[in-house]
Structure 1
Amino acid sequence: MQKSASSRPLVGVALVIGSCLSLPFGAAVAAQLFPVLGPWGVTSLRVAIAALLLLAIVRPKPRGWNRAQWAAAALFGLSLAAMNASFYAAIDRIPLGPAVAIEFLGPLVLAAVLTRRLADAAWVGVAVVGIGLLGVDGLIGAEPLDPIGVMFALIAAGFWVMYIRMSARVGALIPGSGGLAMGLAVAAVLLVPVGIPAAVTVAGDLQLLLLAAITAVLSSVIPYSFELAALRRLPQRVFGVLLSLEPAFATLAGWLVLGQSATPLKMLAIALVVVASVGTTLGARRRRDEGGRTDTGPFTAPIPLPD
């Protein structure tokens, strides 16, 4: 049975939360591979394994695609490769929670640019304060943030914006998950030069290969599939603010898996980003129930390609 229009936002919210839960725990597992494979090697293996899994499951048929569909899938793959490589380089140098908080500046700026309502702008402001507190905690904490790690996180933030835009574009132009599978395949090819040494290393170590596969499933297959489906149900500005939940889950994953600290200031910051996420979601739901215009999806008008 087809879901009613009123249920679509709730399903989209659930999908984003599932993605936010999966991604940081995958990153925490990946961080344990860095001493052996390095961040670039882990990135390449993760993306390659995820691409192989999705290609086998989805079995896309790109032969009939037009030029716009191929361009969208290629740019989507480029954004995936660059975003993941720079983010893994960041968490090799700075803790997971602050790294995700800094990276989140990308979708946060996108949400601010796309919003047209004062209430939405206010929730974005609350999220900004929360992200700022996470940054302050990183600066005044026992371990100052490595500036190179911060730089990589900022680069990842820029490519995260491109990822959101191209994910929406792929979802609009290519039915099902074929665009995601081909995008991951493009990303895997782009990362081959930095992934060959890591592939040689794991070839003779089943335990390392298993950890790499777990990382691929938690950090790529599950979250990207969920986010692609969510962007078919939510406007990009709501999607962008909902992603502010990710620093909270990243802090939790860093604490549980990697033993990274969770200070009171960090907990306050997490509370603020969660409040911002809940506020923007309830606002969109209320406007829909009242019959107002809610921009129910990112595809009501063509999504422009980045310059």
Structure 2
Amino acid sequence: MEKTNQKQLRNTLMLVGCALIWGTAFVAQSVGSGYMGPYTFLASRSWLACVFLLGLLAVRRRGQQRRGQRLPFWLHGKTLAVGGALCGAALFAASAAQQMGIGTTSTAKAGFMTALYVVLVPVCGVFLGRRPGVKLWCCVAASVAGLYLLCLAGRDTLSLTGGEWQLLVCAFLFTLQILLVNRFSPRLDGIQLSFVQFLVVSVLSTVCMFLFEQPTLAQFQGAAVSVLYCGVMSSGVAYTLQIVGQKELDPTIASLAMCLESVFSALAGWLILGQTLTPPELAGCALMFAAIVASQLPDRKH
């Protein structure tokens, strides 16, 4: 039992690391959206992620050969292809909807609506036969309350624009991606699944880029730093950590950890950009951190 709790804590910390990277990348996405269309930005960062992940696979392969290990380069090929295609399609749709919505509303609303998967994951889990305990439902409720305080307290929240509807769809699509990763990650190598996932995202976003947008060299030059950070750190590193971290972890706990990206986004704005945090926003951050800590506490033995 103690070893299981240690593994759960380790995997949860991996997902908190994902949230930290995604939260700081939110600024880069906003900057990138000012230079290029959503499909062009998504294609650029995804191809860069593929190159990064392929490099990791090659380095690991060389290390295995030096140790005398003779393993096939691609493991569980059929399952990898199916899992990567499904995860990639869901991630493409979610990322495109998010990138479109970011430029049409406040970052506060965007952060709140994207992170609504913290509620949707356990709700969908009920229909899939997973029943989170009372403690996890309380943690979800606390996290949503914290999200509200952080993102929406004191703001007009009654009306939804077109871009905000896209962000709501985005939350459902990220929920689907989290559940798909939860299904396939225990059976597959994390780096390989991440590579195939982003290969699918790259191809789909490139097709849409040429169909709906007109990319130019000036766009790539202007968004180069944003694409580099999002491609290597947000896509290459963070999404691979998500796949590895979700192995043998309850998807509700995973969603609680990953929704901390809203907290880290706000804290990054405070530390790096000099933005202020009001008392309700600070209370929201504290409440969300408390929820993820409480989710890690062992259940009482009866």
TM-score with structure 1 setting the length: 0.80
- Distance verdict in 2 for CA 1:135–1:251, change over 3 Å: closer
Structure 1 position 97, deviation (Å): 3.8
Within 1, Cα distance between the matches of 2:240 and 2:90?
A: 15
Long gaps (5+) in structure 2: 59-71
Query: Shift of residue 225 of structure 1?
Result: 1.3
Confirm or deny that 1:237 pairs with 2:252: yes
**For residue 273 of structure 1, what is the aligned residue in structure 2?**
288
> May I ask how many residue pairs the two structures share in their alignment?
281
Aligned equivalents of 2:156, 2:219: Cα separation in 1: 42
Deviation at 1:152, TM superposition (A): 1.7
Flag structure 1 segments of 5+ consecutive residues without an equivalent: 293-307
Q: Please tell me the residue identity of whatever aligns with 1:110.
A: V
CA distance in 1, matches of 2:167, 2:275: 18
Is 1:95 paired with 2:106? yes
Question: Which of 237, 245, 263 is the aligned partner of 1:248?
Answer: 263
Residue 31 (structure 1) aligns with: 30
Note if contact 1:12-1:230 (Cα within 8 Å) is conserved in structure 2. Answer: yes
SS at match of 2:51: helix
Matches of 2:214 and 2:193, distance apart in 1: 27
Separation of aligned partners in 1, 2:230 and 2:214: 14
Q: CA deviation at 1:260?
A: 5.5
Say if 1:74 and 1:258 are closer, same or farther in 2 by CA, change over 3 A: farther
Percentage of pairs with the same residue: 21
Partner in structure 2 of residue 297 of structure 1? none
Post-superposition offset of 1:278 = 1.3
**CA distance in 2: counterparts of 1:129 and 1:275, whole angstroms:** 12
The residue that corresponds to 1:301 in the other structure is none
Query: In the alignment, is the contact (CA less than 8 A) between 1:138 and 1:145 conserved in 2?
Result: no
Looking at structure 1, the residues matched to 276 and 49 of structure 2 have their Cα atoms a distance apart, in angstroms, of 30
Q: Which residue of 2 aligns with 1:186?
A: 200
Answer yes or no: is 1:73 the counterpart of 2:72: no
What do the CA deviations read for 1:10-59 (whole angstroms, capped 9, x no partner)?
21122011111101212211211222113332122111211221123225
Task: Name the residue aligned to 1:20.
Answer: 19
2:96 to 75, 82, 85: 85
Structure 2 residue identity aligned to 1:82 = A
Q: Which residue of 2 aligns with 1:56?
A: 55
1:221 is displaced (CA, Å) by 1.2
Report which structure shows greater RCO (CA 8 Å, sep ≥6).
2
| 1:154-200 deviation line (CA, Å, top 9, x unaligned) | 11101111111121233123224111101100110000034356764
Q: Measured at CA, do residues 100 and 240 of structure 1 come closer, stay the same or move farther in structure 2, by a change above 3 Å?
A: same
CA distance in 2, matches of 1:220, 1:257: 22
Quick one: structure 1 residues 176 and 35, their matched pair in 2 at CA, closer, same or farther if it must change by over 3 Å? closer
Distance 2:168 2:76 in 1: 37
- 1:193-272 aligned at under 5 Å gives the runs 193-196=207-210, 200-201=216-217, 205=221, 208-256=223-271, 262-272=277-287
CA deviation digits over 1:52-87, x for unaligned, max 9? 211232259458612x43221101110111111111
